[in-house]
Amino acid sequence: MSTAWTNQLNWMTGDITRLEVDAIVNAANHSLMGGGGVDGAIHRAAGPELLEACKKVRREHWPDGLPDGEVALTPGFSLPARYVIHTVGPVYAKTKDKSHLLANCYRKSLALAADHGCTSLAFPAISTGIYGYPFEAAARIVCNVMAENLPNYPELQVTLCFFSDADARAFQAVFDEVTRTTE
Ligand code: APR
C-alpha cells in the first residue's frame, strides 16, 4: 500500500475550536442540540447561531435525529473555521462491533468536506471521550480510513486534534505500527 497519504495527515495537541481550518468536525449526539466535551466547546465558541443552524438541519433533513456514523454540515459562525461537520460516533459496547460506524464518521466527513471545497479539515478523537471507545482501537480505525480515503482527496490536509499529549503519543504509536505494516 502507498504511504503518500501520510503527507496529508498531521496531528497536534490543542483545542479544536481555535483552529484556522476550512472545517472542524464535531463529535455530536443524535439530537444535534449540543452537549458536553468537544460538542459543548464548539457550541460555546461558535455562538448561539450554531444551535439555530442545527435545529434547521434537524427540521429539514434529520427530524428523528442524526444517526450514528452520519454527517451534517453547518457554518462555523464565530469559530475561525468556516464550517462545522457534525457527526455522531457510536457509544462503545464490548459486546457489539461498531467499528464500521466510527469509520463512517471519518469517511463521510472527508467526503462532505471535499464536496464543499475544503482543503483543510480537523477532527477530534470521536467517541473516545464520553462515548467510551477505547483510544487505541479508535486510532487504528482512523489510520485505516485515512489510508483508504485520503488518496481520493489529494487537495485535503487533515489535522487530528487531540486534547492531551498522552492521546497524541498514543496515536503516534498506533500510526507507527500501521504504517510499518502497510509499507
Ligand atoms: N478540542 C479537542 N478535543 C477535545 C475538546 C476540544 N476543545 N474537548 C474535548 N475534547 C476531546 C476529548 O478529550 C476526547 O478525546 O474530544 C474527544 C471526544 O470526546 P467527547 O467530546 O466526549 O466526544 P464523544 O466521546 O464522541 O462523546 C459524544 O459527548 O459532548 C457529548 O454531545 C456529545 O453526547 C455526545 C457525546
pLDDT at residue 183, rounded to an integer: 60
What share of the chain has pLDDT > 70, as a percent? 98
Q: Which atom of ligand 1 is nearest the CA belonging to 133?
A: 25
Check: CB of residue 111 under 8 Å from CB of residue 51. Answer: no
Is the confidence at residue 149, as pLDDT, over 60?
yes
Cα dist from 13 to 64, 74, 95, whole Å: 35, 25, 31
Give the chain's mean pLDDT: 97
Section 139-147 average pLDDT:
98
Whole-model pTM over 0.85: yes
2 alpha carbon – ligand 1 mean position (Å) = 31
> By three-state DSSP, how is residue 83 classified?
strand
C-beta separation of 8 from 110 below 8 A: no
Q: pLDDT of 79-120, one tens digit each? A: 999 999 999 999 999 999 999 999 999 999 999 999 999 999
9 pLDDT above the threshold of 80: yes
User: Helix (H, G, I), strand (E, B), or coil: what is residue 26?
Assistant: strand
Chain-centroid distance of CA 92 in Å reads 16
**Model confidence band, residue 181 (pLDDT cutoffs 50, 70, 90):** confident
Phi-psi region of 123 (alpha: psi -120 to 50; beta: other; left: phi over 0): beta
Identify which of 54, 130, 136 to mutate to test ligand 1's pocket (most ligand atoms within 8 A of the CB): 130
Percent of the chain predicted with pLDDT > 90: 96
* Mean pLDDT of the region 164-175: 98
Question: Is residue 25 scored above 80 in pLDDT?
Answer: yes
| 39 is known as an active-site residue | yes
pLDDT given for residue 72 in this prediction: 98
